[in-house]
Each structure stands twice: as structure tokens, then as C-alpha cells.
Amino acid sequence: MRYLPLTDTDRADMLERVGASSIDDLFVDVPELARLDGPIRDLPMHASEMAVERHMSARAKKNLAAGDAPFFLGAGAYRHHVPASVDTVIQRGEFLTAYTPYQPEIAQGTLQMLFEFQTQVARLYGCAVANASLYDGSTACWEAVAMAGRVTRRKRAVLSGALHPHYSQVVKTMAQFTGDTIADAQPSIQTEPDLEGLTSRIDEETACVVVQYPDILGRISDLSKVAEAAHAKGALLVVVNTEPVALGAIKSPGEMGADIVVGEGQAIGVGLQFGGPYLGLFAVRDPKHVRQMPGRLCGETTDAEGKRGFVLTLSTREQHIRREKATSNICTNSGLCALAFSVHLTLLGEQGLRELAAENHRLACHAADRLARVPGVSLLNDAFFNEFTLMLNGKPAREIVRELADRGVLGGVSLGRLYPGVEALEQALLVAVTETTTEEDIETLATEIEALVKEAGQ
């Protein structure tokens, strides 16, 4: 077997050394009833590289890759061009096959990268401190709610109706078990989000208010007033961002007064990957909150010769030290995805990120105008970054999306899929446009939607 270096001679010699007559002697503690008489049945035997490649490729070919079709999906996962050197770097064995930097003297590569990553994320979010990453945006969102509870010693969270529904599901799932009260809502189909309605739900019991920026419908609005309203009641503002490229064009959540900023980092460097692994970003604006943060933190220090070096720090918050009193049960982070994010963002730099954001916005404006000209289609948003909501007349958007797929167009995410059974949202189609979208793709989408909407109207 190509991954197993022991030879039969080795095995025999080693068994002799350990005083066992056969390998079964080493499994003597397994009770009789759980012993098997051979390899587990109903599973295939070992296979060559070539055979495995054939098996997996056959499955890959059944999927329509985003790069092979006009593609407009977003809703928390965005397709951007990732420079070739990102993958080259993350495939270096020293990064790929390392583990958590428990021995910092031989893990400075990972640690320095994490320190750089933390600085990049903090600056992008307008915050003081970011951690070394969490699993993904949705779990980071729950961790923010939990942290706000620790900081304020309150157990009620107010969720904006325009928070990604998977994120609110995760928060509500966890809250069932922790006894937190979650006040959530559904998005209202309006040009602008109902921030007054949101702030009116904040009370003296509220630990935090959670707002997505840009929101699930692609809308962007000034959150300073929400921050003021939250702070007036002693609550924290948690801002969720699922498209970090947007922050190359619009104000950071920290600038608007967010206390905790969390998000999904996938759009930079990581790729779509059918939903995972992704990259949870987590930052706080005020350094005094650092000791309530979940997850790993990398910090600067010096070695015995006075040279600068980096270590994991403040680990007394974490499960391996604090056990049942830890700030979170999280053990790992999303290290390799953090590296991909950091390399991509380093290649972009300040200038590249701003240019990338501008290009996304330019194409999105063009697409929104073009699609809004299709008879039976209207544009909901006044403001957006690279994703907006279209209202389609006639047929539920969900059916249109399926029919577009049959015509080889990946035409967006229907709100019907995200909010099943909510009639008011049935006509809404969420369309994302990035630098990977061509004007020809936009034209194709417009033409196909026009045909389908017309068909539905007849």
C-alpha cells in the first residue's frame, strides 16, 4: 500500500520486540463482541491512484462549475479571481502539513503569518484586535452573540431581519441550549433596511444588536445611529460582513461604532468549495474586550536572545486550560484558509483591494441597470455594493433559477430558497456580480430572464 512504509519483515521484527505473537495480541482489550473477522464488509478494497482519480473525477464532472457558466450567485459566498500564487503558497508542505503552533520555536512561519493576518483583518474591519480566525462567518456570528452576553451580562440578542438566514438559524439553534433570548425578524422588501424598527427593539435587557453590512438583500446603510441606539441602552453593536471585498469601497464597521465585527473571509483567497472550508473573521473595536474573545490569538514577544518572535497567547481563555470555564469550546481555527486570505490580501494591498472593489461595483451597477430594463423586472436597491435584489413579476424566483440552470445559466439565489414559505419574498432574486463576471454574462442573464418572465406572463 503506497502510504504504508512498514514491510511484513518490519512488522514481524516489531511484534517480536513488543512480545506479541500476532497483531491480534495488541487488540486483546477489544471485547469479543466487537472483534471482526476481516475487513469491514460492503466497502471496496484498496485502489490505485488512477482508479481513485477516475472515481472522483466522474463525480466532479456531474457538477456545473461556476467558471463554466454565466454565474451570479452570492448570498454569503462569492466568486473572485484568486491569483495563482495563493495556491502555490498554501500547498507548501511547511504550511500545509504543520499543526497548531504549540512549539513556537519551530512554528514561526505560521505564527508570523497569523500576526500579519490579525493585523490585516483588524484594519479592514476598523477594529483594534482580530483573532486568528474561527470556523466560518455563521459560527463567528454566534460567538459574537455569546461574547456580547459575557461582556454585558445580559442574555437577549436582537437580530436584524436582513441577517443571512443561515446565520440567524445558527444563532437561534445555539440559543435554545444556552437560554439566550433571540429577537429576530424577516427581511422587509424595501429599498432601505428598516433601521428604526430595528433600534426600537433594543431594550435594557439587550446584550447586542446584530446587523449585516451589506445586508442579505445587498443593501448598505449607515449604522452609526444603530450603534448610538445600542450604546444608549448599554448594548453592543455586532456587525456581520459576508463580503470582505466590499470593505475596499465602503466605510468599515468599526468607523461606524461597531463593538464586535465578525464575518466570512471566504471571498478573499479561499474560493467557493461548495460551502467549506471557509474562514470566520472576528474582531473587537475596543482592546479592553480582548480577554472575552473566543479562539486563538497570536501575539508578539521576544526569545531568549532578545529576537522578535510570535506565540499563541492569552490562552487562559481557552478550553485546553480553562476546560468548562472557557470562553468557547473551539479548539482549532481555520489556519490554512487564513493563510490563503492573507496571501491574497497581501497581493492586493491597499491599492489592489480598492481597485478590486471599484471594479466589482462598476460591473454590479452596469448589471443592475441592464437587468432593471428587462420588462417585468425591477431593482429593489437604491444602494448596493456588488449584490442586489431583483423583483420578478409572474413566477416565483425559485422556479426561474431552476429554469435558468436548465439553460446553463447560474442566475442568482432566490430568496424563496433562503426563506421557504414566505410569500412576500417569493418574487425576489439575489444577484451577485464580481470582477469575474463579463458583460457578455450579464447580457445572457438579461436575455434569459426576459424570456422566462415573458413566458410566465403569457
Partner 1 sequence: MSAPNKSGWKPAMNAAADGMHNGPATTTGNRALMLEEPLIFEIGHAETTGVDLPEIDPTAPNRLAGLSRAEPIGLVGLTEPEAVRHYTRLSRQNYGIDLGFFPLGSCTMKHNPRLNEKLARLPGFADIHPLAPQSTVQGALQVIHELGDWLCKLTGMPSVAMSPKAGAHGELCGILAIRAAHTANGNPREVVLVPESAHGTNPATAAFAGYKVDNIPATPEGRVDVDALKARLGPDVAAVMITNPNTCGLFEKDFRTIADAVHEAGGYVYCDGANFNAIVGRVRPGDLGVDAMHINLHKTFSTPHGGGGPGSGPVVFSEALAPFAPLPFVRKHEDGSYDLVEEEQREVSRGQAFGRMTAFHGQMGMFTRALTYMLSHGADGLKQVAEDAVLNANYILRSLEDILHAPFADSGPCMHEALFGDKDFGGGLSTLDLAKGLIDEGYHPMTVYFPLVVHGAMLVEPTETESKASIDQFITAFRSVTQRALEGDETLKQAPYYAPRRRLDETAAARKPKLAWSEPEE
* Segment 179 to 218, residues that bind partner 1, using CB under 8 A: 179
395 touching partner 1, by CB under 8 A: no
CB-wise, 5 or 458, nearer to partner 1?
5
Q: Distance between alpha carbon 422 and the CA centroid of its chain, in Å?
A: 25
> Distance between terminal CA atoms of the chain?
63
CB atoms under 10 Å from CB of 395, counted, come to 17
* Per-residue contact flags (x/-) with partner 1 for residues 420 to 449, judged by CB under 8 A: xx-------------x--------------
Q: Cα–Cα distance between 336 and 346 in angstroms, integer? A: 15
Stretch that binds partner 1, among 53-61, 150-158, 197-205, 229-237 (CB under 8 A): 53-61
Tell me which residues in 300-339 interact with partner 1 (CB under 8 A): 300-305, 307, 309-311, 313-316, 318-326, 328-337, 339
Binders in 367-386 for partner 1, by CB under 8 A: 368, 381-385
What x/- string results for residues 248 through 287 when contact with partner 1 is judged by CB under 8 A?
A: xxxxx--x--------x------xxxxxxxx---------
Closest CA to 243 of 278, 274, 207: 278
- Residue 325 or 458: the one with the smaller Cβ distance to partner 1 is 325
Q: Which is nearer to partner 1, 350 or 443 (CB)?
A: 350
The piece of 148-156, 196-204, 227-235, 243-251 that touches partner 1 (CB under 8 A) is 243-251
Task: Find the shortest distance in angstroms from Cβ 391 to partner 1.
Answer: 17
Nearest distance in Å: CB 113, partner 1: 6
φ/ψ of residue 454, rounded to 5 = -65, -45
Amino acid identity, residue 190?
A: Q
CA atoms within a 13 Å half-sphere pointing along the CA-CB vector of 166: 14
Closest distance to partner 1 from the beta carbon of 236 (Å): 20
> How many other β-carbons are positioned within 10 Å of the β-carbon of residue 73?
19
Rounded Cα–Cα distance for residues 98 and 106 (Å): 10
Question: What's the closest the beta carbon of residue 292 comes to partner 1, in angstroms?
Answer: 13
CB of 209 to partner 1, least distance (A): 19
Q: Residue 333: which of 134, 99, 57, 148 has the closest Cα?
A: 134
Minimum distance from residue 380 beta carbon to partner 1 (Å)? 12
Asked if 217 and 432 touch (Cβ cutoff 8 Å), the reply is no
- Residues ≥6 apart with Cβ < 8 Å to 367: 72, 431, 433, 437, 442, 445
Closer Cβ to partner 1, 154 or 344, answer by number:
344
Question: How far is the C-alpha of 340 from the C-alpha of 279, rounded, in Å?
Answer: 10
- Taking CB under 8 A as the rule, does residue 241 contact partner 1? no
Cell of 388: 442586489
